[in-house]
Amino acid sequence: MATTPRKGEPEVAATKGTKVTAATGMTATPAAPYAHAPGPGAAREVAEPPASIGRRVGAFVIDAAIAAVVASVSGIGALLVWVPLLTMLASQSNGGGAGLSGLPLVGLALMGIGAVLSIAWTIVWVLMQGGNGSVGMRLMKIKLVRRGIGTKIGFWRALARHIVFGLLAGVIVGYFTPLFDRSGRRQGWHDLMVGAIMVDRPAFDAFVARA
């Protein structure tokens, strides 16, 4: 809507998408999701290059291997509990008199330690995903950011994402949901639930550095 300047005020032309301040007559452009970005649509295209499926799989395998090593403490403990117990039961069923050794007690201790370590690692892993990325993500040079904003997703979003992924993975389909995204962003259902996107870190950081 055109306005007529008051007497003594200079005429200022306002283009579409800008605002003219009443006091100074200077134009102000609405902020884009990223600082100095060319515009919301362009910002998302350039600033959020989706990570490749291969890198995502690589990061998942690395993180899963670390989790398996941590969980192996409980696994070793379980073996120390069950092997002597089953050996004793088998011996007694055959008329033998073998007793139970002290290994089960060591096994129980290892199982407890392993459980604590697994819980601690899960918390650390979620914290890392919500921040600068897990070990696997850092090695594969990918990271999670909030779509359209570009900031870290934080602990609670990372935790919600992990829970949704765990539920979906329980019926197998969770592993493949990034393949169902026809937008090209490769967002899995667990990403969409929390508004996150997995990006290529070097390309993302390069955009942020230029912005």
Q: Which whole number is the average pLDDT over 35-48? A: 49
- In this model, does residue 150 exceed pLDDT 80? yes
Cα dihedral angle (116, 122, 124, 130), rounded to 10 degrees? -160
Burial code of 152-169, b = ≥16 C-beta within 10 A, e = fewer? bbbeebbbbbbebbeebe
Whether the predicted model's global pTM rises above the 0.75 cut? no
Given pLDDT bands bounded at 50, 70 and 90, which one contains residue 20? very low
Report the residue count for the chain: 211
Q: Which whole number is the average pLDDT over 87-103? A: 62
Q: What gap in Å lies between CA 201 and CA 145, rounded to an integer? A: 10
Given pLDDT bands bounded at 50, 70 and 90, which one contains residue 80? confident
